[in-house]
Structure 1
Amino acid sequence: MATTTEDGLPKHHKATQNEKLVIAASSLGTVFEWYDFYLYGLLAFYISAQFFSGVNETTGFILALAAFAAGFAVRPFGALVFGRIGDLVGRKNTFLVTMGIMGLSTFAVGLLPSYASIGVAAPFILVALRLLQGLALGGEYGGAATYVAEHAPEGRRGLYTSWIQTTATMGLFAALLVVIGLRTMMGEPAFAAWGWRVPFLISILLLAVSLWIRLQLAESPVFQKMKEEGTTSKAPLTEAFARWGNLKWVLIALFGAVAGQAVVWYAGQFYALFFLEKTLKVDGATANILIAIALALATPFFIFFGWLSDRIGRKPIILGGCALAALVYFPLFGALTGAANPALAAAQARAPVTIQAHQDECSFQFDPIGGNSFDSTSCDIAKTYLAKAGINYDNRDVATDAPTVVRIGEAAFTAPDPAGMTAEQRKAAVTAFQGELKTALAAAGYPDKADPDAMNKVAVVAILWALAMLVTMVYGPIAAMLVELFPSRIRYTSMSLPYHIGNGWFGGFLPTLAFAMVAATGDIYYGLWYPVLIAALTVVIGLLFLPETFRRNIDD
C-alpha cells in the first residue's frame, strides 16, 4: 500500500525550477532523435528509387517501407539492451550512447552510394543503418519517459511526461519542415537527384547540439537514491521478464494499451501521409505541407490529454481513443479521398473497376526478392497495372477457362493470355493492353494526379487533424501509465519492452502490411482493417485487465 499525503495523493518529491529546465532539455534532445528516425519514412519514395531500383515499382515501394519498418523491428532488442543498462548504471549515460548511435547512423545514410553505384550492397547497408537506428531508439524512449516521470511533482506525471509524447510528433514536424523547405528551394528534380541526402547530412549538427544538451542533465533523483541505498537491480532482465508477477503486467501493458496506441499513432500520421501520396496521388510537397499543418494544430493536445489523465485517469483516455479510431477510420479515409482527389472519388462511384478472373491464376502482388514481373498470367497482367496505377478494384471469381476481363464501368477489356507467347510478343501484348486500360480509365474520369485546384485543402487538413487528435488521445497519457505500472528498480527495462514491441512491431510494420494488403486485394481501404482490429482488441483487453495507475506511488 502506497504512503499517501493528506490530500490522498502518494508522497513524492516536488520539482524544482532547475528540474523543470532539465526535463525541457531532455524532451528537446528526444525531438532530435525522432527527427533522425522519421526522415526515412518521409523520404521513402526517393529511397525506393535510389536503393531498390532493381525491382518493379510496387514491390520497390513496399520494400522501401519494409526497410523503414526494419528500424522498428529491432526496437524491442534495443529496449532490452539499453533498458538493462539504464536500470544498472543510470538514465543519463544511456541517453548519451543512444544519441550517438542514432546521429551517426542517420548521417551515414546521407553518404550511402545508390543501387546504381554499388548494386545490391546499397540496400543491405541501408537496412543495417536502419537497424542501428532502431536499436538506439529502443533505448531512448523508456529512459526519457522514466527520467521525466521520476522528476515530476505529484499529481502531474501525466502533464510532465506528455512533453515527451510531443517529441515524436515534433521530430516528425521538424523533418517535414526541412524536407518542405529543401524541396521548395531546390526544386523537385534536384531534390530527387541528390537533395534528399541533405536532411540526413545536417543531422550531424543536430547530434552535436543534442549531445551538449544531454551532457547538462543530472541523474534521476529516484535512481540516485536507489544507487546510494544499494537497492538497484542486479539482474533487471530476470526480474522483469522471468518472474510472472512482473511479466503479466508487461503483457497487459502491451495488449491492453500499447498495441492499440501504436496502430492509431502510425495510421493517423504515417499511413495517412503515404495514403495521400501513393493512393490519392497528391504531390509530395503538398501532402507534406497538409500533414504539417494538421500536426501543428493537434500537437498541443498531447499536453491537454496528459494533463487530463492526471485528473480522470489514463485508462479511459487511451481506450477511448482506440475505440474511436476503430469506429471512424473507414469513414475518415473515405472522406479524405473525396476531399483530396474528388475526381478519383467521383470516378470510383461512376465507373467502378472490376477484375473478373479465376482467382487461382492471380498472384499475391508482392515480391520480396524482386524476381517476378507478374506477367505470367492474364490476371497478373491486369492486377499489376491497376496496382501500380493505384486504382481501386473489386475481384470476381469466374470459371477456370474464362479469360480475365477488366471492367471499367460498362466497358470491358480482355487481358492477354501470355501462354505460348514469345518474350517480345508478351511485351507487345502487355503494352497494348495497358494502353487500352489507361485510355479507358482517363475517359472514365480517373486522374493521373490529384488536381490541387479541385482539392478541398481545408477539409483535408480537418480530416488529418481528426486523425491526429486520436493520436494525441492514445499517446499523451501512455508514458505516465507505463512508468506507473512497474517498480522503480526495473522500470526502464520493464516499460521499454512492451512500448517498443507495440510501436516497433504492431505500429512500425503498419504501412508495409497495409499497402501489401491493398496490393493483394485491390481495395484501397482494405489495409485499414489492420489498425481497426488491433485497436478494437486493445479496447477489449484493456477494459478487462488494465488497471488504473494515475494515483500510484512510483518511488517504490
Structure 2
Amino acid sequence: MNYSSTHSYRKVAIAACFGTFLEWYDFLTFATLAVVFAPLFFHASDPNTALLASLATFGVGMVVRPLGAAIFGALGDRIGRKPVFMITIALMGIATVSVGFLPTYAQAGIWAPALLVCLRLLQGLSAGGEIGGSAVYLTEHAGNEHRGFKTSFLQLMGPLGILFSTLQIALLRSTLSPEEFLSWGWRVPFWISIVLLLIAFKARMALEETPVFLELIKNNQQTESQLLNNFKNPEIRKRMFLLFLCVSSSGAVLFFCVQVYTSIFLKTTVQISATLVDQLSIFSTVALLPLTVFAGWLSDKFGRKPIVLSGLILGAITILPAFYFMETQGIAAKSGNWTSLIIIAITLVWLSGILALVVGPQTALLAEFFPAKSRNSAATLPHNLAAGWIGGLLPFIVTWVNQCRGNTIAGLWYPTLFLATSALIAIKYLPETRDTLLTS
C-alpha cells in the first residue's frame, strides 16, 4: 500500500489517533475524577489526606509507564509497530472497564484502593507502550514533508480524551443528583470505554506495518537487544537525555499543569463549583486544539527548536503569575463576578497556547531524534519516563508542597524551575531535526 497518498495517510492517521485517544481517555478519566475518588476509595478523616492518596494513586499509573515503554518499545523494534499497538490497546481497555466495576471503600474496605492501584498499574504499562510508540508509527507514515503539521494531530488526542471525559462528567452531574453521581454515575465513563475499545481495535486491525519497519525487515536490520544497544551508543544516549529533559518532560509538566492541575486547583484551592470548573476546562481544551496544530505548522516553517524553546521560556516566566492571577480572580468569581470568570478563561487559553508550542512539534521530534533501527525503543523510554515520573507526579508534588508550606501556589515553583532549567539546556544543546530523513 502506498502511504504517500493523502487518502492512505488519512486512513492511517485516523486509526492511530483514535486508538491513542482511547488510551488518553481511559488514562485521564481517573485524573478528571480524582477529587471524586478521594472519599470513595480512601478512608481518611482529613479531606486533604484523602485527596493526596487519590492523586498518589493517579501517579502510580504514571510511574510504571517507563516499564511499559521499555517492554513494548523493545518489542516494537523487534516484531513491529502494529502488533504492539494491538496489545497495548487491549490491555488499557480491559483495565479501564474493570475500574467501573470496582467496589468502594465502604463496600470492600482496604481491598477497594488495593484493586484500584492494581488496575492503575495495568493502565500505566499499556500507556507506556502506546504513547510514544504511536508517535513513531504515525511519523514513519507521514513522509518527509510537512511532518510537523501532519503529525501534530496526534497531540490532540490527550486534550480530546480529557474533553470527552469532562463533557460526560458534566452531563452526568447535570442530570443526576449528587447522591446518584457518587453512588453509580461516576462509573459510566469507564463503562463507555468498552464501546470505544471495540471500535479502536477494529480500526487498528486494518492498519499496515510502517514502510520504515518493513524496510528494516527487508535488510535484516532488527536486533534482539536494541534497548541495551541504545545506551551503549553515546550519541543516542545524549539524544535520549535531551528528549527526556527538554521535550518530553517539559511537555508533560506543561500538560499536567494546564490540563490536569488547573482543574484540581480551581476546585479545591479556589473552591469554584465543580460544574463551572468543568465548563472552563472544556473551553480551554477546545482552544488548545487549533493552537496545537498551528504550532506543528510553525515548526515546519521555522524549525522544531525555536517553537519548542519559546514554549519553555514562556512557561517558566508565566506559570506562577498565571495561577496567582486565577486565584485572586476566583475569589471575585465566587461572588458572581462574570468579568473575573472571563479573565480566568483567558488565562487558561494563554496557558494552553504555551503548552501547544511544546507539544505541537513533539510527535515529529520523537521520531526525528533517532535512526530507524533504534527509533521505537529510544523514543518511547525517555518519553514515558518523562511523562510518568515528571509529569504524572506533578499534581501530587505541587499539592504536597502547597500543604507543607501552607501556601496555595508554593508548589508551582517546581514546574517553573524545571522549565527554566530545560530552556537553558535546550538553547545550547537541543538539535534541529526538521529536515531529518526518517529512513536513515
TM range (shorter): over 0.9
CA shift, 1:340, in A, is: 2.2
AA in 2 matched with 1:240:
N
Does structure 2 retain, via aligned residues, the 8 Å contact 1:110–1:197? yes
Letter in 1 for 2:16: S
Q: What's the CA shift for 1:90?
A: 0.8
Aligned match for 2:47, one of 40, 52, 57: 57
CA deviation vs aligned residue, 1:118-173 (integer Å, no higher than 9, x gap): 11111111111001101100000222111111111322111121011111111111
- Tell me what 2:170 maps to: 180
Residues 66-112 of structure 1: CA distance to partner in whole angstroms, max 9, x if unpaired? 10011110111110000011111111111111001101101111111
Confirm or deny: 8 A CA contact 2:144 2:438 kept in the other structure. no
CA RMSD of aligned residues (A): 1.5
Match of 1:159 among 149, 154, 157: 149
Is 1:78 matched up with 2:68?
Answer: yes
- The alpha-carbon deviation at position 16 of structure 1 amounts to 4.3
1:339 to 329, 340, 352: 329
Shift of 1:468: 1.0
2:277 match: 287
TM-score, structure 1 normalization: 0.77
Residue correspondence of structure 1 range 183-202 to structure 2 within 5 A: 183-202=173-192
SS at match of 2:209: coil
- The residue that corresponds to 1:439 in the other structure is none
Deviations 1:188-241 (A, max 9, x none): 221122211111111111111111111121111111121122112332111222
Q: Please, which of 519, 534, 546 is the counterpart of residue 418 of structure 2?
A: 534
Q: Secondary structure at the match of 2:397?
A: helix
> Once superposed, which parts of structure 1, at least 4 consecutive aligned residues long, lie more than 4 Å away?
452-455
For the pair 1:98 / 2:98, whether they are aligned, the reply is no
Q: CA deviation at 1:31?
A: 0.8
| 1:502 alignment partner in structure 2 | 386
Higher helix proportion, which one? 2
1:519 match: 403
In the alignment, what sits opposite 1:31?
Answer: 21
Task: Give the match's secondary structure for 2:132.
Answer: helix
Match of 1:69 among 59, 64, 75: 59
2:295 is aligned to 305
Q: Please give the secondary structure, in 2, of the residue aligned with 1:151.
A: helix
**Which of the numbers 187, 199, 218 marks the counterpart of 2:208?**
218
Q: Give CA deviations for 1:398-442 in whole Å, capped at 9, x if unaligned.
A: xxxxxxxxxxxxxxxxxxxxxxxxxxxxxxxxxxxxxxxxxxxxx
Three-state SS of the structure 2 residue aligned to 1:486 is: coil
Give how far 1:545 is off. 1.2
1:464 to 348, 363, 377: 348
Offset, 1:455: 6.6
Task: Provide the rounded CA distance (Å) in 2 between the counterparts of 1:304 and 1:147.
Answer: 21
More divergent stretch after superposition (270-279 vs 149-158): 149-158
Say whether the 8 Å CA contact 1:484–1:552 is kept in structure 2: yes
Q: Which runs of 5+ in 2 are unaligned?
A: none
Give the deviation of 1:19 after TM superposition.
Answer: 2.4
The one-letter code matched in structure 2 to 1:200 is F
Contact kept? 1:239, 1:246, Cα under 8 Å: no
Q: Tell me how far 1:481 sits from its aligned partner.
A: 1.2
What amino acid sits opposite 1:163 in the alignment? F
Q: Distance in 2 between matches of 1:285 and 1:97?
A: 36
Q: Is the 8 A contact 1:260 1:536 kept in 2?
A: no
Question: In the alignment, which of 426, 437, 440 is matched to residue 553 of structure 1?
Answer: 437
Cα shift at 1:13:
7.8
Report the counterpart of residue 365 of structure 2 in structure 1: 481
CA-CA distance at 1:257 after TM superposition: 2.3
SS in structure 2 opposite 1:218?
A: coil
Check the 8 A contact 1:341/1:454 in 2, yes or no.
no
Q: Distance in 2 between matches of 1:544 and 1:454?
A: 45
Aligned residue type for 1:38: L
**Structure 2 counterpart of 1:247:** 237
1:129 aligns with 2:119: yes
Aligned to 2:223: 233
Task: Sort the Cα spacing of 1:516 and 1:285 in 2 relative to 1 into closer, same or farther, 3 A.
Answer: same
Instruction: Give secondary structure in 2 for the equivalent of 1:548.
Output: coil
User: Is 1:205 the counterpart of 2:89 in the alignment?
Assistant: no
Distance 2:358 2:154 in 1: 14
Tell me by how many angstroms 1:299 deviates: 1.0
The Cα shift of 1:453 comes to 5.3
Provide Cα deviations, 1:345-377, integer angstroms capped at 9, x if missing partner.
Answer: xxxxxxxxxxxxxxxxxxxxxxxxxxxxxxxxx
* % same residue: 35
Paired residue type of 2:434? F
In structure 1, stretches of 5+ residues that fail to align are 1-11, 344-449
Structure 1 residue 259, shift from structure 2 partner: 1.9
